[in-house]
Amino acid sequence: MNQLKSREPGSVTLPGTLSESLRAELVAFRRDLHMHPELGNQEFRTTAALKARLEAAGLAPKVLPAGTGLICDIGTRTEGMPVLAIRGDLDALPIPDVKTVAYRSTVANRAHACGHDVHTTTVLGAGLVLAELDRQGLLPNAVRLIFQPAEEVLPGGAADAVEAGVLEGVGRIIAVHCDPRVDAGKIGLRVGPITSACDRLEITLDGPGGHTARPHLTTDLVTAAARVATDVPAVLARRVDARSGLSVTWGRIEAGHAPNVIPQHAELSGTVRCLDLPAWRDAPDLVHAAIDEVASLHRAKSTVTYVRGVPPVVNDPGVTELLRDAMTARRGPHAIEDTEQSLGGEDFSWYLEHVPGAMARLGVRTPGDSRVRDLHAGDFDVDERCIEAGVELFTAAALLDATPKP
């Protein structure tokens, strides 16, 4: 029987490695999820599959009130000690799967192109391993699995999960996100902001319209839209500390139908991203003001719809160190890389508004492969050895979290 001997990195003997049969089962589970992707708040099949497997392991998962997603507690809570939560997300993306593999998506225009099938599988695998350790008397404190729906749906299913009480009794929370630029078997870590806030911006501009021969007699709405697109980011760059990483980027501009007609209506859509929490909180007022100023300068009437998305994920130093210790204990310090900040959004941040936590980058690239199968692309795929690495990380973190440092 293995015991926890030390909290010093590299000197910990930990139980809970994967058997060959469980490793194969988890790969098959991930492939099944990959073949049957479900969009946010529609993950009924995924939820049912998780519930059935956890119940088969003797656990008692509870489906969240909306009918998708679930939580599952493992072990007995030590008096006075908060629970460590491990979070996975369930939903897929509305894009086609263009890979040629046996486990290609069977649902048209739906794909697990962000790796949530991997996230879910690693959390499930950790739960199965920890349940076995609990039966052997080797789990020092209770652990909670959180399988959350709708990460891709602003403002994120995590906010609903928190509202449903998934953090009750939780002291710290951890998660991973697939990273196609890190080799499978490794993780990337960073203290502080690791992902960006992400909000959605919709703008309409209106004017009387007119003939392109007489733009001086009307509102030149196409020019107004072009100036909003270029000048608003420039204005914000001088009103916000550059270190906050506030960025406005446009994804859609529409105006007009004929080359000799100045239109009456134009639309712009984009995102607002920010790495700094205080700046993110101020962003709606700053963005509104900049848009109104630029539009007014060109005599256009502006209407702004600012949709709050998610705050930045800010990794807690102590929880990040827990993940570092866990991966060091399992695979050594060479399995850890420093990772850069990303302007991608992640609703894991909503949990961090309530409890400290950290997210690691889970390497999914085949070592030696020069290709980057990027996230949110139809050909995204992973080296499935990443599943074992994720399970090892989570199980080690659960064991070390309940073992005070000497």
Residue 9, pLDDT above cutoff 50: no
Pairing of strands 170-183, 357-365: parallel
Residue 82, pLDDT above cutoff 90: yes
Give the DSSP letter string of 40-88.
Answer: TT--HHHHHHHHHHHHHTT---EE-TTSS-EEEEES-PPTT-PEEEEEE
Residue 406, pLDDT above cutoff 60: no
- Tens-place pLDDT, residues 108-138: 999 999 999 999 999 999 999 999 999 999 9
The whole-angstrom separation of Cα 40 and Cα 51 is 18
pLDDT tier at 371, thresholds 50, 70, 90: confident
User: What are the structure tokens assigned to 172, written together?
Assistant: 């710290």
pLDDT tier at 4, thresholds 50, 70, 90: very low
Percentage of the chain beyond pLDDT 70 is: 96
The whole-angstrom separation of Cα 214 and Cα 227 is 19
Residue closest to 117 by CA, chosen among 47, 25, 33: 33
Which pLDDT belongs to residue 154? 86
Contact assessment for residue 287 and residue 279, using Cβ atoms and an 8 Å cutoff: no
Which backbone phi and psi does 246 adopt, to 5 degrees?
-65, 125
pLDDT tier at 404, thresholds 50, 70, 90: low
Which backbone phi and psi does 199 adopt, to 5 degrees?
-120, 160
What does the mean pLDDT of the chain come to? 94
Residue 101, pLDDT above cutoff 50: yes
Percentage of the chain beyond pLDDT 90 is: 88
Judge if pTM exceeds 0.95: no
Which pLDDT belongs to residue 57? 97
pLDDT tier at 8, thresholds 50, 70, 90: very low
Mean pLDDT within 228-244: 94
pLDDT tier at 2, thresholds 50, 70, 90: very low
- Tens-place pLDDT, residues 143-202: 999 999 999 998 999 999 999 999 999 999 999 999 999 999 999 999 999 999 999 999
Which pLDDT belongs to residue 104? 98
Which pLDDT belongs to residue 98? 97
- Tens-place pLDDT, residues 282-326: 999 999 999 999 999 999 999 999 999 999 999 999 999 999 999
pLDDT tier at 6, thresholds 50, 70, 90: very low
Mean pLDDT lowest for which of 5-9, 80-84, 322-326, 349-353? Answer: 5-9
Total Cβ atoms within 10 A of residue 226: 16
- Tens-place pLDDT, residues 23-69: 999 999 999 999 999 999 999 999 999 999 999 999 999 999 999 99
The whole-angstrom separation of Cα 184 and Cα 88 is 18
pLDDT tier at 370, thresholds 50, 70, 90: confident
pLDDT tier at 207, thresholds 50, 70, 90: very high
